[in-house]
């Protein structure tokens, strides 16, 4: 089957059957590192909402995990005078239960198509687009062939089949050596365009925060994480998280094609520092001196280039009539 289909099936089972977050899970996201992350996301959205004229608005999160980011963001929003309705796009029954425990008044959706259309949307997608499926093509002696997944006695393995003439003819790929891999993210592109259309029609803004690159990268970024360590992506389908690095260039183009105005991407570390992460960390350390070292560790993890600061990036999409979001220089 195509790798794209393999990812869909594997991740559907994985997320439907477990809470993958935290020390006992497979990975830790920025909201779980520190409350500071969600607070600054909330303040950035509240600031944008104020400058847009304080319209009726809903807070929307795509793939909200345990609800940690939403709780922190909403707390900060309320302090800034914004108390939006909460809409969560989540298909996992396990994670919905965790979210319901901390956000009992939220409304849940299986897809973005049922989000409210009578108010502006303030959307957050933190480590969401990386989990959407990718297609891959591999350079062979005959041209670019799509990578498929097959099963053999020793397990699942990739194979290349067929030749995509359109890719083979692209001048930018003529010099790629045999064995090179390129990726496409049709699900992410389609969703970003639909969200761009929704923002353009009804107002609002979106923050996409994820790990990835600016675009045009030749290489295999498919990865699996299990017990906080990298694993063979094909070794245990449905038992580990499958992701691929986000192509922020393609994502930005899709939002723009939908009619949204795009800002960024910028590195996460730069964005958080511009928004005031250092000042918030200092305030938390003063309020709880016994937690000062833990706050400092969390700060470094969020902004250090060797941690999450450089690989993770932030892209904003907003309705054409809305002001530019803060944090982008």
Please check the confidence at residue 133 and state whether its pLDDT lies above 90: yes
pLDDT of residue 27: 87
Identify the CA nearest to 210 among candidates 16, 29, 22. Answer: 29
Whole-number Å distance between alpha carbons of 212 and 268: 11
HSE-CB at 254 with a 13 A cutoff on CA atoms is: 22
Confidence of residue 161 (pLDDT cuts 50, 70, 90): confident
**Maximum alpha-carbon separation in the chain:** 64
Provide the β-strand partners of residue 329: none
Strand boundaries in 90-141, DSSP class E: 107-109, 120-126, 135-140
What DSSP designation does 48 have?
A: H
Asked whether residue 171 carries a pLDDT value surpassing 80, the answer given is: no
Q: Which helix (H) or strand (E) covers residue 237, if one does?
A: none
pLDDT higher than threshold 90 for residue 25: no
Would you call 191 helix, strand, or coil by DSSP?
helix
> How are the residues of the chain apportioned to helix, strand and coil, as percentages rounded to the nearest 5?
40, 25, 35
Q: What is the pTM of this model?
A: 0.94
Cα separation, 192 vs 65, whole angstroms: 20
Burial of residue 116, with CB atoms counted within 10 A of its CB: 0-12 exposed, 13-18 middle, 19 or more buried: middle
164, two tokens: 């995509």
- Provide the pLDDT for residue 266: 97
Residue 22: DSSP 8-state? S
Tens digits of per-residue pLDDT, 261-313? Answer: 999 999 999 999 999 999 999 999 999 999 999 999 999 999 999 999 999 99
Instruction: Kindly tell me if the per-residue pLDDT of 218 is higher than 90.
Output: no
Helix or strand holding residue 158 (H, E): strand 155-161
The predicted model gives 163-181 an average pLDDT of 79
The structure tokens 């923050």 sit at 207
Q: Are 149 and 133 in contact (CB under 8 A)?
A: no
User: What are the structural domain ranges in the chain?
Assistant: 3-134+185-218+244-318, 137-151+158-184
- The model's confidence at residue 163, banded by pLDDT at 50, 70 and 90, is confident
pLDDT surpassing 70 at residue 40 = yes
Instruction: Report which of residues 57 and 166 the model is more confident about.
Output: 57
How far is 223 from 231, CA to CA, in rounded Å?
Answer: 7
What does the buried/exposed string (b/e) look like for 288-326 if buried means 16 or more CB atoms within 10 Å of the residue's CB? eeeeeeebeebbebbbeeebbbebbbbbbbbbeebbebb
Q: Quote the tokens at residue 111.
A: 């897809």
> Does the pLDDT value for residue 168 go beyond 80?
no
Q: Is the pLDDT of residue 317 over 70?
A: yes
Whether residue 266 contacts residue 314, with contact meaning beta carbons closer than 8 Å, is answered with: yes
How sure is the predictor about 174, in pLDDT bands with cuts at 50, 70 and 90?
confident
Q: Does domain 3-134+185-218+244-318 have CATH number 3.40.50.12710?
A: yes
What pLDDT does 260 receive?
98
**How much is the mean pLDDT over the chain?**
94
Which tokens is 68 given? 């940690």
Q: Report pLDDT for 190.
A: 97
* pLDDT classification of 216: cutoffs 50, 70, 90: confident
pLDDT score at 169:
66
Distance CA 112, CA 191 (A): 8
Q: What is the mean pLDDT of residues 132-156?
A: 91
Residue 167 is predicted with a pLDDT of 74
């Amino acid at each position: 089957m195509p790798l794209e289909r393999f990812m869909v099936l594997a991740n559907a089972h994985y997320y439907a059957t477990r809470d993958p977050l935290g020390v006992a899970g497979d990975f830790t996201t920025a909201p779980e590192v520190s409350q500071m992350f969600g607070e600054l996301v909330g303040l950035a959205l509240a600031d944008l909402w104020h400058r847009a004229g304080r319209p009726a608005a809903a807070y929307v999160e795509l793939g909200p995990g345990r609800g940690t980011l939403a709780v922190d963001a909403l707390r900060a929003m309320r302090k800034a005078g914004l108390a939006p309705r909460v809409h969560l796009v989540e298909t996992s029954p396990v994670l919905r239960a965790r979210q319901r425990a901390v956000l009992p008044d939220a409304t849940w959706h299986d897809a973005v198509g049922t989000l409210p259309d009578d108010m502006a949307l303030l959307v957050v997608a933190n480590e969401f687009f990386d989990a959407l499926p990718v297609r891959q093509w591999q350079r062979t002696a005959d041209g670019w062939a799509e990578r498929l997944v097959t099963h053999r006695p020793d397990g699942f393995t990739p194979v290349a089949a067929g030749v995509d003439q359109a890719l083979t003819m692209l001048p930018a790929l003529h010099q790629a050596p045999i064995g090179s891999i390129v990726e496409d993210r049709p699900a992410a592109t389609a969703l970003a365009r639909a969200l761009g259309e929704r923002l353009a029609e009804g107002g609002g803004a979106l923050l996409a925060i994820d790990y990835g690159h600016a675009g045009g990268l030749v290489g295999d970024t498919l990865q699996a994480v299990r017990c906080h360590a990298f694993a063979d992506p094909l070794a245990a389908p449905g038992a580990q998280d499958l992701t691929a690095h986000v192509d922020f260039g393609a994502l930005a183009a899709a939002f723009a094609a939908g009619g949204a105005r795009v800002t960024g991407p910028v590195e996460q570390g730069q964005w958080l520092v511009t928004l005031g992460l250092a000042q918030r960390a200092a305030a938390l350390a003063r309020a709880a001196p016994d937690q000062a070292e833990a706050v400092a560790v969390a700060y470094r993890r969020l902004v250090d280039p060797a941690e999450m600061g450089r690989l993770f990036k932030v892209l904003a999409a907003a309705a054409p009539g809305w002001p530019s979001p803060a944090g982008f220089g």
